[in-house]
């Protein structure tokens, strides 16, 4: 019997596949990885992609911090928020 659920999040963009697998324990690291991908100019992965996938991760594995995240205005979002 498996105690931890594994979440799989996938995105296909211009023929490239981005697949993220995460559980409760590595949720925050997965969010940070999205930001690293968006900051990498060699990847076809934008900040918009990171924001959309971050929202899906937060919906799948919510935390107390997400309540504060939802209250922030998008204009105040920085790299550290990921």
What's the confidence (pLDDT) of residue 63? Answer: 80
d(CA 82, CA 21): 17
Domain chopping of the chain, boundaries? 7-63
Q: What is the mean pLDDT of the chain?
A: 84
* Angle between helices 27-39 and 47-60 in degrees, nearest 10: 170
Q: What is the mean pLDDT of residues 44-61?
A: 93
Higher pLDDT, 48 or 3: 48
What's the confidence (pLDDT) of residue 45? Answer: 96
Q: What is the mean pLDDT of residues 19-37?
A: 94
Task: Give buried/exposed letters for 39-78 (b at 16+ CB in 10 A, else e).
Answer: eeeeeebeeebbbebbeebbeebeeeeeeeeeeeeeeeee
What's the pTM? 0.72
Q: Half-sphere exposure of 56 toward its Cβ, with a 13 Å CA cutoff?
A: 16
């Amino acid at each position: 019997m498996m105690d931890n659920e594994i979440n799989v999040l996938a995105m296909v963009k211009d023929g490239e596949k981005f697949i993220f697998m995460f559980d409760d324990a590595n949720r925050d690291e997965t969010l940070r990885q999205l930001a690293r991908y968006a900051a990498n100019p060699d990847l076809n992965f934008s900040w918009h992609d990171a924001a959309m996938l971050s929202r899906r991760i937060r919906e799948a594995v919510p935390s107390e911090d997400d309540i504060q995240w939802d209250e922030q205005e998008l204009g105040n979002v920085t790299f550290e928020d990921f």
